[in-house]
Structure formats: structure tokens, C-alpha cells
């Protein structure tokens, strides 16, 4: 399984960015796909995830109402629309796939099996 993430960049606070992550080497059937982020000196943090078959979404409290996760099943791609960006959203964003996730594990980065290369998101004042 390979994951290709894109869409990061530099944006002013209050602005928007859209990240994409495309999977290959898998159908994602029965899997979950998520986004995590890691700022310098901090632990990897859950952002959002989707249960691939049902489309059920999970969000971290810190991004609810601002970020929107969606998926294109035909393209094996997820999109993370990030709105009203804040300085504290600055981080490297990683997409990941978990093959055996259950509801309680979608937010745990240790439960994911495959990771993309990361894309930098920098929010400036």
C-alpha cells in the first residue's frame, strides 16, 4: 500500500487549504483512512478519519466545524478541506491507512498500518 499526499503550503491565518491523499495497492475495502499532524516537539495528533465502506467520519475536537473530510471512492482519495486556519494548525500532515480499525482506534496513530510522506502546512499571522 502506498499513500501520496499533496496540497500543503503556506497560508495566512483565517485562510483555507485542501489536502489530498491517494492510495494505491489496496481497494481500501474494510479499511479506514485518516489524517494526523505533528508539530515540532509535539506528539503526532489525530485530525480526522473516515471509515472507508460506510463513510462514517471522525474528527478531533480541535478541528470540528473548521475541517471537512471527504472521500472519492473511485479515486481511492480522501480530501481534507481546512478552513479558518489557525496558527496552531501549523504542522506536517500525514495521511494513513488502517486495515483493522475499530471505532475506538480511529484516533490512535499506532493503529494505522501505512503512512504517506507528509505534507507541510504553515499558517502565518
Task: Summarize pLDDT for 49-99 with one digit per residue, the tens.
Answer: 999 999 999 999 999 999 999 999 999 999 999 999 999 999 999 999 999
116 Rama sector, left if φ>0, alpha if ψ -120 to 50, beta otherwise: beta
What percent of the chain clears pLDDT 90, i.e. is strictly above it?
98
Q: Which residues contact 120 (CB under 8 A, 6 or more apart)?
A: 8, 9, 91, 92, 93
Q: What is the mean pLDDT of residues 24-37?
A: 95
Q: What pLDDT, on a 0 to 100 scale, did the predictor assign at position 97?
A: 98
pLDDT band at 19 (very low <50, low <70, confident <90, very high): very high
Amino acid at each position: 500500500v502506498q499513500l501520496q499526499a499533496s496540497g500543503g503550503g503556506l497560508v495566512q491565518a483565517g485562510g483555507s487549504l485542501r489536502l489530498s491523499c491517494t492510495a494505491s495497492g489496496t481497494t481500501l475495502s474494510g479499511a479506514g483512512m485518516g489524517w494526523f499532524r505533528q508539530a515540532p516537539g509535539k506528539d503526532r495528533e489525530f485530525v480526522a478519519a473516515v471509515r472507508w465502506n460506510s463513510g462514517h467520519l471522525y474528527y478531533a475536537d480541535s478541528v470540528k466545524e473548521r475541517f471537512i473530510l471527504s472521500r472519492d471512492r473511485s479515486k481511492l482519495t480522501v480530501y481534507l478541506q481546512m478552513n479558518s486556519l489557525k496558527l496552531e494548525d501549523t504542522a506536517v500532515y500525514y495521511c494513513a491507512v488502517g486495515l483493522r480499525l475499530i471505532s475506538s482506534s480511529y484516533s490512535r496513530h499506532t493503529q494505522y498500518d501505512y503512512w504517506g510522506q507528509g505534507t507541510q502546512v504553515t499558517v502565518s499571522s
